[in-house]
Amino acid sequence: MAEERTNGHKSGSNLEKVLRAGHFAITGELGPPQSADAEEVIHKARLLKGTAEAFNITDNQTAVVRLSSIGSAVLVIKEGLEPTVQMTCRDRNRLAIQSDLLGAYALGARNLLCLTGDHQSFGNHPTAKNVHDLDSIQMIRMVKNMRDEGIFECGDEIKGKVPRFFIGAAINPFADPFEFRAHRLAKKVEAGVDFVQTQLIYDMGRFRKFMEQVVNMGLHEKVYILAGVGPIKSIGAANYMKNYVPGMIVQDEWIEGLRAAITDIPKEDKDARREALRNQGIKACSEQIKELREIEGVAGVHIMAIEWEEAVRPIVEGAGLLPRPQVE
């Protein structure tokens, strides 16, 4: 296939360039609104600009209908940010996925995150029919074949411009069966993934164990692994994640850190307690990024601060990672 001005890069995206140049990369996340309000996307984009290489735009996250990932991605591009379009297998079959990805590429998207998708029973249309024509691994391979072989899933040649995405996926080192997790990453690598972002990490011990397995298998040399982090803004939120979010483990030290931040502040002073908790959330996240940087095989971090976009800049700054590198 023709390389069309990518200097040997697969997609030529900013995220790909930064990772290939060997920098510790940062990706962020932007959740579109449950409305057709472009201003909300633009507002969040402005808060996030300059804090990361690329920003995931969620695709009907938690199975709740939202402004589309691709539509939001176009708004984000206009603001000068680089989007990572998220695409789930839940809502689209192989025809719709390919068609929408041709559209996304034509509109300027260059990074893609291939996901199975949260089950619709968790969202606001629990009586919907789900699709799951493909799973995320099959989607990765399909998109890679579109890019590298110039063919659609059916084998037909793409006549004309080929979509050249930097292909991402999600991995959850905290779900079970634990021993299968690194093998599942290996399958994603074999399918053709370029980068992966992990589930939020609040159990560093288990994450280290997972990374040891990954490094032993040599997977870190075949795929860029971005460790998932996110600031916790309240004790309630930490407990909720610990107890109710499937596939998530929250160690007590996170909750203890938040508690310690407000021990000296009287209960009546709600604003001060709220502020102290938020500061602690941001500080803990920055510290965690520094720690993750030292783990072999970690190529960067993925910061998830949905509905708390303001936190991203101080987190990145606190981790000593501003300004972001410019790679030509």
Partner 1 sequence: MIVGERKPLSEIMELLGGAQKVLVAGCGTCVTVCFAGGEKEVGILASELRMKSKLDDHAMDVEEATVQRQCEWEYIDPLRERLDGFDVVLSLACGIGVQAMNERFPGVITLPGINTTSLSLPVEQGVWEERCQACGDCLLGTTFGICPIARCSKQLLNGPCGGSQEGICEVDSDTPCAWQLIWDRAIEFDQVRRLLDIQAPKNWSQSRDGGLRKIVREDLQLESE
Q: Who contacts 70 (Cβ-Cβ below 8 Å, separation ≥6)? A: 57, 85, 100, 103, 104, 107, 109
Nearest CB to partner 1, comparing residues 199 and 286: 199
- Residue 196 makes contact with partner 1 by CB under 8 A: no
Q: Which of 3, 37, 39, 135 binds partner 1 (CB under 8 A)?
A: 135
Nearest distance from C-beta of residue 134 to partner 1, angstroms? 5
- Residue 175 makes contact with partner 1 by CB under 8 A: yes
Nearest CB to partner 1, comparing residues 52 and 170: 170
**What tokens were used for 41?**
């996307």
Nearest CB to partner 1, comparing residues 28 and 117: 117
Nearest distance from C-beta of residue 173 to partner 1, angstroms? 9
| CA dihedral sign of residues 82, 83, 84, 85 | negative
| CA dihedral sign of residues 318, 258, 204, 63 | negative
Q: Which of 65, 180, 216, 290 binds partner 1 (CB under 8 A)?
A: 180
Q: Which of 43, 184, 206, 222 binds partner 1 (CB under 8 A)?
A: 184
Window 207 to 266, contacts with partner 1 (CB under 8 A): 246-247
Distances (CA, A) of 32 to 126, 181, 303: 20, 30, 16
83 in Cβ contact with 109 (< 8 Å) = yes
Please tell me the distance from the alpha carbon of residue 278 to that of residue 233, in angstroms, as a whole number. Answer: 5
**What tokens were used for 5?**
């001005």
Binding region for partner 1 (CB under 8 A) out of 68-76, 111-119, 278-286, 318-326: 111-119
Nearest distance from C-beta of residue 155 to partner 1, angstroms? 12
Window 8 to 47, contacts with partner 1 (CB under 8 A): none
Q: Which of 183, 256, 272, 296 binds partner 1 (CB under 8 A)?
A: 183
Q: Which of 18, 104, 114, 171 binds partner 1 (CB under 8 A)?
A: 171
Q: Which of 28, 31, 117, 163 binds partner 1 (CB under 8 A)?
A: 117
Please tell me the distance from the alpha carbon of residue 247 to that of residue 242, in angstroms, as a whole number. Answer: 9
- Residue 311 makes contact with partner 1 by CB under 8 A: no
CA 76, distance to chain mean position in Å, is 16
CA–CA–CA angle 144, 146, 152 (5° rounding): 130
Please tell me the distance from the alpha carbon of residue 302 to that of residue 141, in angstroms, as a whole number. Answer: 23
Name the site residues for partner 1 (rule: CB under 8 A).
89-90, 94, 116-119, 121, 130, 132-138, 141-142, 153, 170-172, 175-177, 179-180, 183-184, 186-187, 190-191, 199, 246-247
